[in-house]
Structure 1
Amino acid sequence: MQCKHRVGNKIMAFFLLCISSLLIFVTTYIFQPLIDAHRRLPPGPRRLPVIGNLHNIGRDPPHRAFAGLANRYGPLVSVRLGGVRAVVASSRDAAREILHRHNGDLAGRGGMDAWHACGHHGHSIIALPPRRRWRALRKLCAEEVFAPRRLAELRAVREDEARKLARAVSPVEVAVARVVFPRVASVLWRSMFSEELDPATARELWDVVREAVVIAGAPNISDYFPALAAADLLGVRHRMEKLVGWTYGVIDRQVEVRRRRRAAGEPRKNDLLDAALDMEMEGEVDGEGLVMNQDATRGMFMDLLVAGSGSTTSTIEWAMAELLQNPRLMEKVQEELKRVLGARTHVVESDIAKLSYLQAVVKETLRLHPTVPIGLNKAEATVEIQGYKIPKGTTVYVNLWDICRRAKVWDDPEKFMPERFADRDVSFVGTNFELIPFGAGRRICLGMPLADRMLHLMLASLLHRFEWTLPDGQVGGVDMAEQFGLVLSMAIPLRAVAKQIRSVRL
């Protein structure tokens, strides 16, 4: 009798499992589309139980997978990524509504569990919601580093680092990103701390940044299933804690040295660090405590160092890769440099306005390889976009990479063609929504004014001083495979051979 009872229980359990599975199937494949239509959500692929549309992403990088969905379902696509409801925008018109018209309600931040490492999310300009602390930190950086006045004061620093970049290139095979990074990072370091970045710290920082920009933005199961985030199943937060901890340690040492010098009565540097310490002493409080404290200083400086140096270095590497693939275009840039600079050996920022083709090369590089491939926002209120409802709490992805490659907007969108900007007055400052590599609206990249100057100046210094070719034996051109993350970088670091141009003496 007991055996029959156990068999009966198993049959009942199996029957209940079948009924549950059937209900899930019916809900997912029949009722859910009807519910979505009633709620006026954007169209999208059907969902599987539990995982939602994660299978539609597959193994492709998210920006390419989302582009494929946009080709099938349109410029606004509704998806369910595990437990996260999301909408993906892939047209300039949709981006304009999200990042301009409704930006006040769509400027929140969601996901990115990696940023919780060491509590960084609570003090990060990148991860904070757009409230009082976020506004205070952003305003401080804008005034003390990126304002026109400060950029003008630090122009000599940028030109000095550009000259150092040229001197660092040896007439042998060069790892482009590795030689560019210390100079980009040093510009930021000197802007923040008014001190030179020592070579040993620069080398360690390069390793940290190269890993952090991948971990911070790469797909993570904790982002799709927030209830599991504490378990850190993929170990992403643990890996990020090591990187954040090292960076915090470096920043803490700078802060403590400055505190001692201020206490000893040394003259002020009047840089970002002095401004942060002044703000800390003022003791302004928001709903989460002090607006500026040691943790907020760490978070702010880390964001600037990691995101700023990583993105600019990556863009210069992409530009060099595209020009190495197109020697005729590289020759055209170098001819322009020779014509404008004449016998001068150094490029200065005042030259950039006269280098129209170089500017076109930078724009075309940013179009094909936007600094941030996907903008990540969160709806803080329900809004209507192009006739569809975006419910409060929805994660809103703006596929900047896809928008910059739309065939309806760009001729031959996959082709590197700087000439397309010769008769086209398009800027990347967030007003032309077909070219928004730095984003737009309230979340536009804070460091864009500095990045704009560094990209042109350092790329010009490399091209003015040297002839560049691919290493002997490298067949098939440059490997243009992408590494998705917070920054879209080259999966295989670019290596090239530099030969000094005889007419330009170092």
Structure 2
Amino acid sequence: MSLKFGSQPVLVVSSAEFAKEISKTHDITFANRSVLISLKKIMYDFKGLLGTPYGVQWRKLRSIFVHELLSSARVKSYNAIMEEEMNLLVGKIKQDCLSSRPVNLTDAFTLLSNDLICRAAFRKKYSETRHGKQFLEGMKKAAGLVFNLTLGEFIPCLGWINWLTGFNAAIDMYVEKVDEILEAVIEEHLTNKGADESKDNFVDILLGIHQGNTPGISIDRTTVKAVISDVLGAGTKTSSTSLEWVMTELIRHPTVMKKLQDEIREIMEGKQHITSHDLQKMQYLKAVIKETFRFHPPVAMYPRAAREYVNVMGYDISPKTEVLINVWAIGRDPSLWQEPEIFMPERFLNSSVDFRGFDFQLIPFGAGRRICPGIEFAAMSLEHTLANLMYKFDWALPDGANGEDLDVTEKHGTTISRKNPLVVFPTKSYF
């Protein structure tokens, strides 16, 4: 579907076949991101991995991300962190269960996702600090600002309206606050440098590159802040949103929940701690997660931008055309999925379709060069969290409500999350 947002040509891609052309066949041609003015301000002039135009600098930044934070070996090394955070989460929920208190899973998942990312990348939590709380609060505001499409964004001569409405002031206020937070994080690491020679965390690695300790690559201080912002912002919201939706759908479909609990409890045989080895045996768990990604992709549309003229499947696409790959629509395409509006994990039990960017009917993390580098970390955290919550607790809605009564209204922003928090009761604890 070809559109015009003001003076900006936009192409909306809603088929798996065309998505494959964009993300694989012509991947290099569409290897840039969109350039929304508000997004450019929030993302440090596109100096981080998520916004940097395709080229030498982008390849260097991605290499840093993958090798120093998100490689398979690195992700496996986070197992101890994962188990510790799961124990903390389970312990808190158990106390709520014993006291018959409801649990706000929306808040719990946000904190969990942020803590996991912070411990993996920075070797410490920030959610309990003043700066960490401010960052999480600011992130919520930014999600709405970025997708609050304004006239000034697409009709430059009307840009003054953004000043009049206060939109630009809100963006500037957010950027100033986040910059203050990230500066504090950097100063903390610079001050503590040398205090612990065994430290090996992402911020120190970035600062080392900034200070010229790595031959062949250099980044300025702004790029360091942009990359840290990418790690904290992108990882926290997408992971917590996916956890929100999978628990929502399980509560709405008690038969699916029971089947998942039976699988997990049979495999565990009464053992207390779920390991990565145990997770590999849980095929229905993996099917539930895939179905959640199909039904509720954390990001509804992945933006690309054409770097040059290209003809795709007979259509002429001009340079700088914005391309929105409509992952949500592809996941509900009746030509690809049987009964697409029904949450049915069984469709994946005897299917080789996966979400790692090779099967274009299921691309919740994108595909091609711009695929999310945190895909393995996200999958691991989802599996660990869901398995623990299903294994160790039974769940119900407040006031005896039925699953079909659960509100599933969406809140649109950088991710498609629930409009209202997911509040539930853990009705029975098994440990």
Pair in the same fold by TM > 0.5: yes
Tell me the alpha carbon deviations over residues 44-67 of structure 1, each in whole angstroms, 9 at most, x when there is no partner: xxxxxxxxxxxxxxxxxxxxxxxx
Tell me the CA shift for residue 283 of structure 1: 7.8
Asked if the contact 1:108–1:129 (Cα under 8 Å) also holds between the matched residues in 2, the reply is yes
The answer to whether 1:151 aligns with 2:75 is yes
- The structure showing larger relative contact order (alpha-carbon pairs under 8 Å, at least 6 residues apart) is 2
Amino acid at match of 1:260: T
- State the match for 1:71 in structure 2: none
The equivalent residue for 2:361 is 434
Residue 329 (structure 1) aligns with: 256
Q: CA deviation at 1:155?
A: 1.5
1:491 is the counterpart of 2:419: yes
Q: CA deviation at 1:360?
A: 0.6
Instruction: Identify the match of residue 58 of structure 2 among 126, 134, 153.
Output: 134
Residues 1:466 and 1:372: Cα distance change in structure 2 (over 3 Å)? same
Identity %: 27
Deviation, structure 1 residue 251: 2.5
CA displacement at 1:96 relative to structure 2: 0.3
**Equivalent-residue separation in structure 2 for 1:438 and 1:333 (angstroms):** 24
Task: Kindly tell me the number of residue pairs found equivalent between the two proteins.
Answer: 423
Q: RMSD of aligned C-alpha atoms?
A: 2.2
Larger radius of gyration: 1
* Distance change in 2, residues 1:118/1:209 (3 Å): closer
Instruction: Specify which of 412, 418, 425 is matched with residue 339 of structure 2.
Output: 412
CA contact (8 A) 1:105 1:381 kept: yes
1:385 aligns with: 312
Aligned partner of 1:44 in structure 2 is: none
TM-superposed deviation, 1:124: 2.8
Q: Distance in 2 between matches of 1:460 and 1:106?
A: 38
SS of 2:211 mapped into structure 1: helix
Task: Give the alignment of 1:158-307 within 5 angstroms.
Answer: 158-169=82-93, 170-171=96-97, 172-201=101-130, 202-229=132-159, 232-233=162-163, 234-262=165-193, 264=194, 266-282=196-212, 291-307=218-234
CA distance in 2, matches of 1:214, 1:356: 36
Residue 391 of structure 1: CA displacement? 0.9
Q: CA deviation at 1:118?
A: 5.9
Displacement, 1:244?
Answer: 3.5
Write the letter of the residue equivalent to 2:341: E
Contact 2:110 2:236 in 1 (8 A): yes
Match in the other structure for 2:409: 481
Deviation per CA, 1:325-345, whole angstroms, max 9, x where unpaired? 101111111111111112122
Q: One-letter code of the match for 1:293? A: D
Task: Return the alpha-carbon distance in structure 1 between the equivalents of residues 229 and 157 of structure 2.
Answer: 28
Question: Secondary structure in 2 aligned to 1:232?
Answer: helix
Match of 1:396 among 320, 323, 326: 323
TM-score by length of 2: 0.92
Partner of 1:450: 377
1:227 to 1:473, Cα distance in 2 relative to 1, 3 A: farther
TM-superposed CA distance for 1:218, in Å, is 4.1
TM-score of the two chains, using structure 1 as the length reference = 0.79
Contact 1:115 1:237 in 2 (8 A): no
Match of 2:12? Answer: 88
Q: Is the 8 A contact 1:218 1:484 kept in 2?
A: no
Alpha-carbon distance between aligned partners in 1 of 2:162 and 2:48, rounded to the nearest angstrom = 20
State the shift of 1:224 in Å: 2.4
Deviation at 1:393, TM superposition (A): 1.5
CA–CA distance in structure 2, aligned partners of residues 346 and 259 of structure 1: 37
User: Would the alpha carbon gap of residues 84 and 274 (structure 1) be closer, same or farther in structure 2, given more than 3 Å must change?
Assistant: same
Q: Which moved more, 1:409-418 or 1:201-210?
A: 201-210
Q: CA deviation at 1:214?
A: 3.0
Gap runs ≥5 in structure 1 = 1-76
Gaps of 5+ in 2: none
- Contact 1:133 1:291 (8 Å CA) reproduced: no
Using a 3 Å threshold, how does the CA distance of structure 1 residues 84 and 463 change in structure 2: closer, same or farther? same
Change (3 A) 1:242 1:160: farther
